[in-house]
Amino acid sequence: MNRSAIITLEITIAALVLVVLIGTYLASGFTYDALIWILLIALGIGAMYLLKKHNSPEVRRIIAIMGVLCIGISFAGLLPPTPLIPATPTIGMVFGMVLLLLHWRMKRQDGDLGLQDERSLRIGTYGIACSWYLTYIVVILLATAITLGGMQVPAESVVLILIILMPISTILFQTYYNHKGDIS
């Protein structure tokens, strides 16, 4: 594909995303929740696009500005007198903090850090796979305990457990396989 075709494709995708976001806002009846979610989604798409394309000091600054904007948008979501979905400001603040942490990590990242050998890729793959299996087992155990044992667990607690379990177990499995050595 030549450069002009890629630029045309990117503009078309951006226009479609913009139409979907505006349509969502209009269909919601002009609620603050929809506006905040649309702005956060647009910032997220923009951040991921920049990360895929470039890793320069300018992009890192833009990512940091996007993180501050997400936190600001979330604080603005706390101000209106109309009731919001309780998770809306919290999700925005978390997303902004993730972008700021991403900026910090990219700033400290070495140029050769992206290079990986086959062993490192295999360790990463095994760690993620084991994390998925562990999460799957935890979901089955929770479902069984709730269904058969009559255990009362709020949905927020289940989601929080899974959100915390996934990255921590991935890191632990990858560290274990890294110390273990070669994976056959």
- Distance separating alpha carbons of residues 131 and 163, to the nearest angstrom: 12
Which range is most confident: 7-11, 67-71, 174-178?
174-178
Alpha helix stretches (DSSP H) within the chain? 3-27, 32-53, 57-78, 87-108, 118-148, 155-180
Site of tokens 């905040």: 36
**What are the extents of the domains in the chain?**
3-108, 118-180
pLDDT one-digit tens code per residue, 68-83: 877 887 777 666 666 5
Please state, in angstroms and as integers, the Cα–Cα distance from residue 80 to each residue in 50, 71, 94, following that order.
32, 16, 20
pLDDT one-digit tens code per residue, 115-162: 567 878 888 888 889 999 999 999 988 888 888 877 888 888 888 888
pTM, entire model: 0.47
Are 134 and 168 in contact by the 8 Å Cβ rule? The answer is: no
